[in-house]
């Protein structure tokens, strides 16, 4: 009986940590979407060192965000009832393929291609990731009320 209570307490703590992280994750992905929007505008207007430094920093921030989302996904595996769809960035390596294309465009100084990849592929993917996080929040809320 003590093991069951300990297991439930650990699950409750994990569920609480997931819930508390979702708001920060949604804020982060929304900010990333906005800064990449700004990057696209800047890339199309000028090719300055400042633009490239900002873009580079935003790409690093995106990598940290993706690591954070992977940790969230790993935490959800402890719960059977979540039934989450695959998050958009991880789906069929779409995110990895896009980042590879972006890196190639960056390395070859193809700023138009990089701008297009950010505007037409990355930004929509980030908006889908925000929706995925909202769905995760809904599942956490449901899990808390149904004691999964």
- Over residues 80-135, the pLDDT tens digits come to 767 778 888 877 778 889 989 998 998 898 989 999 999 999 999 999 999 999 99
* Full residue range of the structural domain in which residue 39 is found: 11-146
Predicted TM-score (pTM) of this structure: 0.85
Query: Which three-class secondary structure string do you get for the chain?
Result: CHHHHHHHHHHHHHHHHHHHHHHHHHHHHHHHHHHHHHHHHHHHHCCCHHHHHHHHHHHHHHHHHHHHHHHHHHHHCCCCCCCCCCCCCCHHHHHHHHHHHHHHHHHCCCHHHHHHHHHHHHHHHHHHHHHHHHHHHHHHHHHHHHCC
Number of structural domains the chain divides into: 1
Whether residue 2 lies inside any domain: the answer is no
Whether residue 68 lies inside any domain: the answer is yes
Whether residue 5 lies inside any domain: the answer is no
Whether residue 3 lies inside any domain: the answer is no
Is the pLDDT at 47 greater than 60, yes or no? yes
């Amino acid at each position: 009986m003590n093991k069951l209570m300990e297991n439930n307490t650990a699950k409750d703590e994990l569920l609480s940590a997931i819930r508390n992280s979702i708001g920060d994750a949604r804020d982060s992905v929304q900010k990333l979407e906005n800064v990449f929007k700004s990057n696209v505008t800047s890339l199309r207007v000028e090719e300055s060192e400042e633009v490239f430094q900002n873009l580079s920093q935003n790409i690093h921030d995106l990598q940290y965000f993706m690591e954070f989302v992977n940790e969230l996904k790993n935490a959800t595996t402890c719960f059977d009832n979540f039934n989450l769809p695959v998050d958009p960035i991880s789906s069929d390596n779409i995110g990895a393929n896009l980042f590879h294309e972006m890196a190639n465009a960056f390395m070859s100084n193809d700023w138009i291609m990089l701008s297009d990849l950010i505007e037409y592929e990355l930004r929509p993917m980030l908006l889908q990731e925000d929706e995925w996080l909202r769905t995760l929040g809904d599942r956490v809320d449901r899990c808390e009320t149904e004691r999964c």
